[in-house]
Structure 1
Amino acid sequence: MSPAMKSLHISLTAFLLAPARLLTITRADGTVYRFAESQLPITIGGNTWTPLGGLVTLSAMKHTIDGSVPSTDIDVAMKSGGPFDSVDIERKMFANALVQIHVVDRDDPVIADAYFTGRIGQTTYGAPQYCKFSVRGATAKAKGNMMQHFQAMCRTDLGSTLCKVPIWPVGGTHFTTIARSTPYPLGHFVRVNVTGGTTPAAFAERAFEVTGEGTTAASQPSYDITIGNSTTDGSCVLTARDSWTRYGQVVDIVDDGHGIIIDRDPDARAVDGWFAQGLIYFRSGYLFGQAEVIANWDQSDKKLTTFMNMGNGALAVGDYIEFNRGCDLRKVTCDQVFHNSKNRRSEDDFLGVDLLTASSPTSAGSANPLPATLPPLFNLRTLVE
């Protein structure tokens, strides 16, 4: 069905002589980004929206009447240390971020009701250093008939605010450790530099879970890194968990720059393919602060394979890297690897049209016979009723 036209709010159409869209992105951690489709900054009520300037490209907003949620896409240029830092993006810092789009008059800007409000969902990658945020609108405000879209694959990214698996425990960027004299809530995860070192080894491949909320001490105590053991830090109790993020040092670069050989066996769980679809974080050298997707892991050779070419002097022998387990979005992985079924975003046992419209298995010559065995959550009476 073709997209339906949507009229601007009546209070806007009266004065929109030089229209400009204002884009506001508010991350879950409270960081706010403001951009304007204009050549000059636009300031309203003490807040300034900076010109897009090639850093951000905002697509047309789609509003339909077929039950689909209103949506738009945001293309951003990733840059280490910039507004859209590649490490922040890979760490899912923009997952579920609030997106608001206002339409104003550039010559007389006044904020009215948001023309579009949504949340960042899936992130995809295109040209090098560019990515696309898919933004889905607020379903409660959609007009027309509403319907739910079902799928068997998980709809959220590993480590996102919806997934909640602590792939990269909260703690800032790069080597930032747990903060001193800071309150932490129950269930929060942090990294702790347990040795005072400056390489990834200092974090001992542990994620510490807050199992007793409280406030950390002014000085860091000695941490027990034995998995399952707890450390009292001020009034806060933190328990050591095996981290999904591991580390290594580059000893060779092979396969025309796509293969990275590291110096150690990083994880006893890491069979072939374990880190596939995960991420590599570069912790030293020319690529420091950047991240790259892992294509495969070869346990016997201790080799990480990347989609992008890491050769040509970009990556060097001796560089430190960290990397995490990936997720193929399947139910078996969520259940048996991450033990995270309660946060899975899919409908794995949905029957589908064929089963819902099937006839009795005893019907002779039925073109669409009902299977003799139904999923555990359903029975024939349920289907009939």
Structure 2
Amino acid sequence: MSADLLYAHLREGVTHTCHCWLVRRRDGVVLGFTDHDASLQFDGVVFAPQNGLSARAIASTTGLSVNNTEAFGVLSDDAITEADILAGRYDAATVQVWLVCWDDVRARKTLFRGTLGEITRGSGGFEAELNGLTEALNQMQGRSYLKTCSAMLGDSRCGFGLDHPSYRLDHRLDAPSDGQVFALEGVENFNAGWFEGGVLQVLSGAAAGLRGMIKTDVGEQERRLTLWSPLNAPVASGDFLRLTAGCDKRPVTCREKFGNFLNFQGFPDMPGDDWLVSVPRSDQSHTGGSLTR
């Protein structure tokens, strides 16, 4: 219905159209922008004219080819900030773009729907790659034959529930952190290295919603967790963290730490390279069976 109204308006010859952008971050924050000179509102979202986004030409194709474009805009304190970009709050955010009749917002049509890709910043502005819905077709499909597990801990293939208190811990931070190294007290019930390879998520404070992969977990009474990369946001004393146990993808870990070996998604008994170059030897029996070295 809305598209029909827009088509009727375009056939009039004199048009009153603009673009509207909806950015929805993974933490639930929703931002609306328009290149019109006044605010517009529909679907419960206000599209603000200041600090708006602009885009290069959007080319739509039929079939399964990938539709990608780019957007650029300015950094500001009340919209898209450099701190939020650095913290990764816009990574994989969903984007929808409409062509809208600004004096009757019921007349509109979606021009693009996808996600934000790589973001670069500089000179008070930023430029973001927009990936269309067919971008997922660029991802590798199928399984790899590896000795280690190819599933992610807790996903549908792994099938392991992480809600048990032995594998997930909500903890109040006693000392401020630089966003990469965290000093924890009162977690002596967990063995050293228990969270290594797991996930640290910030539940409150300025860094709420950010997460990182845990590189090392050392110490007993005073634990020291180090992330592979910093969170790029301040983490203060009193902020709450959620720690999830790590998995190194080995079959012995799956069996002894998680008791989940029936769902192990690797091939631990796959022969190695030595087996591939095995040849008959005079000191072995030759019964027609498999060669071993």
Larger-Rg structure: 2
Q: TM-score, normalised by structure 2?
A: 0.48
Question: Higher relative contact order at CA 8 Å, sep ≥6: structure 1 or structure 2?
Answer: 2
Q: TM-score, normalised by structure 1?
A: 0.40
